[in-house]
Amino acid sequence: MSEPNGFDRDYFIQTRKEIDTEKRERDQMLNFAILVLGAIGFVIYQSETAQKFLREPEAMAIEIPALVIISSLFWVRYRKLRQISDRWFTLNRMLLRYFDEKRVEEMLEGIVVKDLKEWRYIKKDIILNIALCLPIYGLLLIPFFRGWCPDQRWRLILTVVVIVAHSLLSSVVLGRKFIDPLPPLSDVKSTIKENQEINKLE
């Protein structure tokens, strides 16, 4: 076991600061998604014209983009989390240079890297995405709460298709697990050993 050099220490600290910054930016995106949903709700609540318009088939031209906007913000959050995960994987690899694997697994970096490969950090946004889209789903279904007529059959089919397709597609996109972008540690150690042997021969 060796002590981290000055460059590695500074790099480690700077990367942890960048992770904190990225996390704050992710939270701002969630706040913006809630703001968008709140603005839609406020307009509907304040305007009788908007309420009447939502009962018309043309309302889907606004409701579907609203679903896309909300899920797009969560997709950006997902991409931001991927950037954060790359930094955690990098920090974990740095620690493995100085400490044994068992000890690193007990450090925060080891715990985070382990959970990044599972569902712990991913499932939150999947659930929030569906939860924030539920009011829009409700708006899509409002016309059918006021009575049923055969002429609405096509609209009901389209509404069901939109809701199911959106929930499944967005969950699949946001549910992809993260993988370590770095080469396997065994390959790295092998390369380092080979380079050391070449340097000795020279």
pLDDT value for 54:
72
Q: Does residue 1 sit within a domain?
A: no
- Reported as a pLDDT band with limits 50, 70 and 90, residue 192 is very low
CA–CA separation, 150 vs 148, rounded Å? 7
Q: Write out the E strands in the chain.
A: none
Closest to 87 in 3D by CA, of 152, 153, 18, 36: 18
The answer to whether residue 174 sits within a structural domain is: yes
pLDDT tens column, 94-150? 888 888 888 888 899 999 999 988 888 899 999 999 999 998 998 888 877 766 666
What's the predicted TM-score (pTM) here? 0.80
Find the DSSP H helices in 99-152.
101-105, 108-116, 123-145
Whether the predicted pLDDT of 201 surpasses 70:
no
Residue with tokens 């549910």: 175
Q: Which of 29-43, 136-150, 165-179 has the lowest mean pLDDT?
A: 136-150
**Sign of the torsion formed by the C-alpha atoms of 177, 182, 186 and 187:** positive
Q: What share of the chain in percent tops pLDDT 70?
A: 87
How many separate domains does the chain show? 1
Residue 148 is assigned to a structural domain of this protein: yes
| 78 domain-assigned | yes
- Residue 64: give the domain boundaries: 6-201
- Here the tokens at position 85 are 């995960």
